[in-house]
Amino acid sequence: VSLVGALSGLVKEGRVQLFLNAADHEHMRAAFVGALESNGVDYDKVVDMNGVQEFKRKMMTEEPSKNVTLFTYDDYFTAVATTDLLCNVADVLACKPSELAFYPIPKLMIRRVGDHEEYSAFRASELGDGTLEVREVDLAVKYVKLFLSTGLLEVMNKSIDNNNKIGLYDGCKNAIRIALERAEQMQ
């Protein structure tokens, strides 16, 4: 939430857009709303799966009506699906280094929750599609400014393209293929 406040100037200037997924966590919704309102940042809100799908559809051809969109729900499924659905209309995913570290999108790895997550950030950095873990807000802001002023996002996207060509993001596809092959062998 501190990062939202720290980025508010860039948001108001129109240089940064934020898609904030509070998911089904009321305390996160309240924290995001508090950070946005205390920094004078206007925002739109999406509250259900139809809204997420409509937002994504519009984002395929146009910019959002406001520089911040808050996604907040009553149900768990929509909360989780939002990240999956919006990855191909976002430039960067800012997240803790969890399973999201393996998504094919440039990632700003912010503070982890558990020690085991440290290795996800290492792996994303090794693959060239994410940063190392950024534990302080001022360093996260510096990365955002690097994304805006250098070719870092292009480098990350090129890494994603190269990684995809060699099948690095095919884990789920391979798991399904193997399961189907084994099921067929058992018949």
Average pLDDT over residues 171-184: 94
* Model confidence band, residue 49 (pLDDT cutoffs 50, 70, 90): very high
Average pLDDT over residues 47-71: 97
CA–CA separation, 127 vs 148, rounded Å?
A: 21
The pLDDT tens digits for 132-160 are 999 999 999 999 999 999 999 999 999 99
- Whole-number Cα distances in Å, 36 to 60, 104, 170: 25, 29, 37
- Is residue 33 scored above 90 in pLDDT? yes
pLDDT given for residue 128 in this prediction: 96
pLDDT given for residue 80 in this prediction: 87
Three-class SS of residue 38?
Answer: helix
What does the block give as tokens for 4? 């939202």
In a 13 Å sphere around the CA of 22, the CA atoms on its Cβ side amount to 25
CB within 8 Å of 6: residues ≥ 6 apart: 137, 138, 140, 141
pLDDT given for residue 184 in this prediction: 94
pLDDT given for residue 116 in this prediction: 82
pLDDT given for residue 18 in this prediction: 98
- Is residue 7 scored above 90 in pLDDT? yes
CA–CA separation, 177 vs 159, rounded Å?
A: 25
pLDDT given for residue 93 in this prediction: 94
Exposure string (b/e) for 135-172, b if CB count within 10 Å is 16 or more? eebeebbebbeebeeeeeeeebbebbeebeeeeeeeee
- Its pTM stands at 0.89
Average pLDDT over residues 156-178: 95
pLDDT given for residue 98 in this prediction: 85
- Tally Cβ neighbours within 10 Å of residue 48: 14
pLDDT given for residue 133 in this prediction: 93
**Lowest mean pLDDT, pick from 38-52, 112-126, 154-168:** 112-126
- Whole-number Cα distances in Å, 126 to 114, 141, 158: 20, 22, 14
Rounded percentage of the chain residues whose pLDDT exceeds 70: 100
pLDDT given for residue 113 in this prediction: 82
The pLDDT tens digits for 96-119 are 888 888 889 999 999 888 888 888
CB within 8 Å of 18: residues ≥ 6 apart: 4, 7, 11, 67, 68, 69
What does the block give as tokens for 149? 């002023």
